[in-house]
Amino acid sequence: MSQADLSIHGQVSRTGATEIMTAPTFSVPAKKMAMWLFIIADSATFAGCLVAYGFTRNATPDWPRPFHSITNVAVMTLILLTSSLTMLLAIRSAQRADKPGAFRWTMITAVLGVLFAVLHLREWMGMISEGATLFHNPWGTPLFSSLFFSITGLHLLHVTGGVVALIAVGIRYQGGRYKADDLEIAGLYWHFVDLVWMFVVPFVYLMNLSH
Amino acid sequence: MAAAEVQTHKTGGMGKDVAVYVCLLVLAGIQFVIAYQDISTSQMFVRMLSVALIEGGLALLFFMDLSENRGLRWFVLIFTVAVILGMQYGWTDSFRLIDGVPWAK
């Protein structure tokens, strides 16, 4: 029985000792497992930030609601969700060995990430021009600004890192140094960044909307 | 699922992916609608969290392919729930704090 046969057999049945020895943890390759462990650890970081935010918001009277318009955040959400779809298109293309297609969709995803970051910075500049900084908040407690800039900044840092990673992995995949699996792992990270945004938007933006 | 089936699924059409994407857009839209509802903060929190959890679940299962790996799915679920339960200590302490401050009713 060849190594490939063992690998396939290992996914179907796990009764034999040989299969147990050859099967990786959760049938996931080591690199992918490492990314999953990173994602789990990073999700604990974001969960900690959001719980700290909830704790502070709950314990602070007259919590400010400074957001008047949701247009910008709606567009940002649309861009990030769409970038997840384009990332999937890149991964599916790579799995079909369509190298040009995979590279093109990866770069489109990176461009959408850059667009998201630009809109994010534009929003930050708007808030800063109104007097909001990390330690000062014109609408009330400075804790609001501190938490807002910290949580959205941490997310923006992840988006920026993701864009750099996508470009690097995309170019190396195009050059033949990386495989489809590597693109899939970069995609896992990008989907995670998208997933975090699904929790940041309602709690940090939408629940602070002025009516 | 046999390896050949997995490969067919992975290289198959984008129908399911697009359907999940549309679902996520709709759910995000629902969150924006909830934001304009005239309800209490706690009610809004529960609704926002519920929708966000559904969105997160869909992204995990279908975009991040957890639906295809039962072992990893349980590992992620158990680990995440353990972290969130651990953080409940902070939440309960938050409520204790608000009940102890001068503006508490």
CA trace torsion A85, A89, A91, A94 (10° rounding)? -170
- Cross-chain CB nearest to A202 (options B21, B25, B48): B48
Beta pairing partners, A67? A209
Maximal CA-CA distance, chain A: 71
What is the pLDDT confidence band of residue B61, given thresholds at 50, 70 and 90? very high
Residue with tokens 């930030």: A49
B55/B94 same-domain check: no
Greater confidence (A205 vs B4) lies with A205
Instruction: Say what the pLDDT of residue A5 is.
Output: 46
Residue B71 Cα, gap to closest chain A Cα (Å)? 5
- Cβ distance B72 to A26 less than 8 Å, yes or no, reads yes
What is the pLDDT confidence band of residue A3, given thresholds at 50, 70 and 90? very low
Pick the CATH number of A28-208 from 3.20.20.150, 1.10.3720.10, 1.20.120.80, 3.30.1340.30: 1.20.120.80
Which chain B residues have a beta carbon less than 8 Å from that of A78?
25, 28
- Cβ distance B11 to A95 less than 8 Å, yes or no, reads yes
Least reliable range by pLDDT among A15-19, A102-106, A143-147, B76-80: A15-19
Closest residue, chain A, to B23 (C-alpha): A81
8 A C-beta contact, residue A141 and residue A62: yes
Closest residue, chain B, to A77 (C-alpha): B28
Which chain B residues have a beta carbon less than 8 Å from that of A59?
94, 97-98, 101
> Between chain A and chain B, how many beta carbons pairs sit less than 8 Å apart?
123
- Cross-chain CB nearest to A59 (options B41, B49, B97): B97
Residue A66 Cα, gap to closest chain B Cα (Å)? 13
The answer to pTM > 0.90 is no
Give alpha helix (H) positions in B1-105. Answer: 3-10, 15-35, 41-58, 70-100
8 A C-beta contact, residue A13 and residue A163: no
What is the pLDDT confidence band of residue A6, given thresholds at 50, 70 and 90? very low
B61/B73 same-domain check: no
Instruction: Say what the pLDDT of residue A192 is.
Output: 96
B25/B59 same-domain check: yes
Picking from A147, A181, A198, A206 by the largest number of B CB atoms within 10 A of its own CB, the best residue to mutate is A198
Residue with tokens 């099967």: A23
Domain total in chain B: 2
- Cβ distance B3 to A11 less than 8 Å, yes or no, reads yes
B53/B6 same-domain check: yes
Q: What is this model's ipTM?
A: 0.84
Tell me the per-residue pLDDT of B73-102, one tens digit each, with 9 for 90 and over.
888 888 878 877 777 666 666 666 666 655
Residues A124, A117: Cα–Cα separation, whole Å: 10
Instruction: Say what the pLDDT of residue B48 is.
Output: 95
Closest residue, chain B, to A87 (C-alpha): B63
Instruction: Say what the pLDDT of residue B6 is.
Output: 45
B82/B57 same-domain check: no
Closest residue, chain A, to B57 (C-alpha): A195
Residue A14 Cα, gap to closest chain B Cα (Å)? 13
Residues A110, B105: Cα–Cα separation, whole Å: 50
Which chain A residues have a beta carbon less than 8 Å from that of B86?
none
Provide the domain limits for residue B2.
Answer: 1-68
Residues near B47 by beta carbon (within 8 Å), at least 6 away in sequence = B34, B37, B39
B74/B92 same-domain check: yes
What's the gap between Cα B79 and its chain centre?
14
Which chain B residues have a beta carbon less than 8 Å from that of A36?
72, 76
Most confident of A25-29, A136-140, A151-155, B93-97: A151-155
- At CA B40, angle to CA B36 and CA B44, rounded to 5? 60
What is the pLDDT confidence band of residue A171, given thresholds at 50, 70 and 90? very high
8 A C-beta contact, residue B81 and residue B87: no
8 A C-beta contact, residue A144 and residue A127: no
Q: Is A48 helix (H, G, I), strand (E, B) or coil?
A: helix
Residue with tokens 């990673």: A165
Average pLDDT, chain A: 87
Residue with tokens 């999953």: A36
B77/B43 same-domain check: no
Tell me the per-residue pLDDT of B9-40, one tens digit each, with 9 for 90 and over.
554 568 899 999 999 999 999 999 999 998 99
- Cβ distance A206 to B76 less than 8 Å, yes or no, reads no
B35/B84 same-domain check: no
At what angle are helices A99-129 and A180-200 packed, to 10 degrees?
30
Q: Is A132 helix (H, G, I), strand (E, B) or coil?
A: coil
Instruction: Say what the pLDDT of residue B95 is.
Output: 63
B25/B62 same-domain check: yes
> Mean pLDDT across the stretch A14-39?
72
What is the pLDDT confidence band of residue A174, given thresholds at 50, 70 and 90? very high
B5/B36 same-domain check: yes
B15/B52 same-domain check: yes
- Cross-chain CB nearest to A47 (options B2, B38, B84): B84
Residue A136 Cα, gap to closest chain B Cα (Å)? 23
Which chain B residues have a beta carbon less than 8 Å from that of A61?
103
Tell me the per-residue pLDDT of A72-131, one tens digit each, with 9 for 90 and over.
999 999 999 999 999 999 999 999 999 999 999 999 999 999 999 999 999 999 999 988
| Share in percent of chain A as helix, strand, coil (round to 5) | 80, 0, 20
B60/B73 same-domain check: no
